[in-house]
Amino acid sequence: MIDFLPYKSQLTIEDLELAKESFHLKVFRRAEVIMPIGPVCTQLFFIKKGLVYAQTADETILYYEFENHAFTDIESFLSQSSSAISIICAEDDTHIVSISRKDLQHLVKQSHSWALWAIKFLEGELLRLTGYYESLRQNDASQRYEELINLRPDILQRIPLGHIASYLGISQVSLSRIRGGVQKK
């Protein structure tokens, strides 16, 4: 069940055995809300198969996460404050494994290896988020679009153009112009 786990190479068989009851698999349908706005986020999620996205109350797309990636409302998860975003399933038959904050804390207390795993995981998330914000700060929408297409060539088949425009912070008309320019290159 935890073959999807990042950084698992530093965990022993005993560490993995300790955690086997802590992870839970659930299959979601397209448009199903995984985590709503409002409640405190108490879960860390991993996508085995499928696609999810996060959005604000005004339906601005913040991010998409694909197979073999983790997601959560990291601010709510760490501070235990109300979530300001919702996370929604973007494709049918999306397989998501989760672990509760409480179970993760228990693993960290039980095993030095799990504590090191948690540090490594949070470092990875911090670097990923920093990269995302640096891209927003330094690149215009056209550069971010090209970066997105280069990173995920399948994105246009999996995500509606309106969502991509929202993610880039531009209108669909502007996205059409960018796409027209990219296709001419």
Tell me the average pLDDT of the chain. Answer: 91
* 63 falls within a domain: yes
In-domain check, residue 180: no
Q: Are 18 and 115 in contact (CB under 8 A)?
A: no
Alpha carbon distance 101, 168 (integer Å):
31
Checking if the pLDDT of 183 tops 70, the result is no
Domain hosting residue 76, numbered range: 8-110
Residues 45-89: tens digit of each pLDDT:
999 999 999 999 999 998 889 998 999 999 999 999 999 999 999
What is the distance between the alpha carbons of residues 83 and 164, in angstroms, rounded to a whole number? Answer: 23
C-beta atoms surrounding 10 within 10 Å: 11
- Answer yes or no: is pLDDT of 94 > 90: yes
In this predicted structure, what is the pLDDT of residue 151?
Answer: 87
Distance, CA of 111 to CA of 87 (rounded, Å): 30
Tell me whether residue 66 is in a domain: yes
Residue type, 167: Y
Give domain status of residue 15, yes or no: yes
168 assigned to some structural domain: no
pLDDT at position 3 is 79
pLDDT in tens, 19-52: 989 999 999 999 999 999 999 999 999 999 999 9
CATH assignment at residue 89: 2.60.120.10
- Would 52 be classed as within a structural domain? yes
Q: Which residues neighbour 104 within 8 Å (Cβ) at sequence distance 6 or greater? A: 22, 44, 114, 118
Q: Which residues pair with 81 in a beta bridge?
A: none
Cβ atoms of 45 and 2 closer than 8 Å: no
Asked if the structure places residue 177 within a domain, the reply is no
Q: How far apart are the first and last CA of the chain?
A: 44
pLDDT band at 1 (very low <50, low <70, confident <90, very high): low
**Count of structural domains, the chain:** 1
Q: How many CB atoms lie within 10 A of CB 121?
A: 16
